[in-house]
Amino acid sequence: MELSELIESVDILEYISQYTEFTEKNGEYWGLSPLKEEKTPSFSIRKEENNFYDFSSGVGGNVLTFIRYYNKCGYQKAIEILKEYVGCDGDVAPPHKKLAATEVAKRFAKPKKTNKISKVTALPDDYMERYEKRQDKLAVWRAEGISEASMNKFQVYYDSFSNRLVYPIRSPDGKIINVGGRTLDKAWKEKGLRKYTYFKPWGELNTLYGLYENREEIQNRHEIILFEGAKSVMLADTWGIHNTGAILTSHLNPNQMKILAQLGCRVVFALDKEVCIRDDHNIKRLKQFVKVEYIWDRDNLLDAKDAPVDKGLETWKKLYEGRLSWR
């Protein structure tokens, strides 16, 4: 039996239900994490994908991944546990098993130039309708300066099971490829929760948040301003700045670099204060294709971990007007 066949033969919901109870909501199953003590359910199973994601620990994957983390064991031990559960007495072949001679030949072969393709499964167009428009919950971001219009534009909802504000993350052509979440649990640090997280493991990140929604203004201005997080995009949108996007991390990856090169417009990096973009290899490469500028807080207007929009519109204007060109 192939390992993939063994994994696919197990209903992941049935297996993990041995360790915690689940409640179904619109095809997703939520329960308290079996991997970490918590009081608010943040462990999700998606039966159609036969995988899990634990927001409290950031761990996700198939049933074998769960067994490894739950039992704190290695790969082979996890396979044996899964075989015992299934009642499989035969050998399990690892995926894509190679002959020894093939492996030796491969070591001395000339490296092949290949382009790794990111496989992203798009979610249904109406995916966000499973969540709620709770004005009392959305008030948290209104109090932080994000307008109702901007939250509507970027489809911010509330997920009662994980107690998070949620918003779709779209591919450049508008398909929903993930859902971002911001916890509303005030004790998130004490409980070991992530303040911001994603509802699916990423694999390769091959998009820029906000590019689909803001593409027309980006093209009209021939400029894209890039923040780290989605919230900064929404806040800028509230101020009438609609040519922005977010890289959803602190560094640019090769996929995002290609997207920006194809856009062909000026790129202004407005990352958090602690990030030094001159150390970013992919931004250095991007300079070959487009003009690159960046925000530099020379007057210490921001705190150590602030995004350039965190101190208000007037501070942002000063930072933007004082941006530097990276030649």
- pLDDT tens series, the chain, 327 aa: 678 888 888 889 989 998 998 888 767 888 899 998 878 888 889 887 889 988 877 788 899 999 999 999 988 899 889 888 887 766 665 554 444 444 445 444 555 444 444 456 788 899 999 899 999 999 999 999 999 999 999 999 999 888 999 999 999 999 999 999 999 998 888 877 788 888 877 767 899 999 999 999 999 999 999 999 999 999 999 999 999 999 998 889 999 999 999 999 999 999 999 888 888 889 989 999 999 999 999 999 999 889 999 999 999 999 999 999 987
What are the strands of the beta sheet with 266-269, ordered from one edge?
244-246, 223-227, 266-269, 292-294, 324-326
Position 266 scores a pLDDT of 96
Rounded Cα distance between 9 and 28, Å, is 20
Task: State both tokens at 175.
Answer: 């398909």
Domains and CATH numbers, the chain: 3-86 (3.90.580.10), 127-198 (3.90.980.10), 211-326 (3.40.1360.10)
Residue 117: per-residue pLDDT: 44
CA proximity to 269, closest of 167, 239, 256, 204: 256
Please name the amino acid found at residue 323: R
> What phi and psi, each to the nearest 5 degrees, are found at residue 49?
-100, -10
- In the chain, % helix, strand, coil (3-state, to 5) comes to 35, 20, 50
List Cα–Cα distances, 325 to 173, 266, 269, 297, 314, in angstroms: 30, 10, 10, 14, 21
Non-local (6+) Cβ contacts of 133 within 8 A are 157, 158
DSSP annotation of 124 reads P
Q: Output the pLDDT for position 321.
A: 96
pTM given for the model: 0.69
Q: Would you state the pLDDT for residue 119?
A: 56
Around Cβ 54, how many Cβ atoms within 10 Å?
22
Instruction: Provide the CB-side half-sphere exposure for 290 (13 A, CA).
Output: 22
Report the chain's terminal Cα–Cα distance, integer Å. Answer: 57
So what's the pLDDT on residue 95?
52
Query: What pLDDT was estimated at residue 173?
Result: 95
> Angle, to 10 degrees, between the axis of helix 75-86 and the axis of helix 63-71?
110
Dihedral (C-alpha) 89, 91, 94, 100: value to the nearest 10 degrees?
170
Burial category of 219 from C-beta neighbours within 10 Å (exposed 0-12, middle 13-18, buried 19 and up)? middle
Question: Can you read off the two tokens belonging to residue 158?
Answer: 């509330």
Nearest partner of 229 among 290, 287, 144, judged by Cα: 144
How many Å apart are CA 184 and CA 162, to the nearest integer?
9
Distance in angstroms (rounded) separating the CA atoms of residues 129 and 164? 15
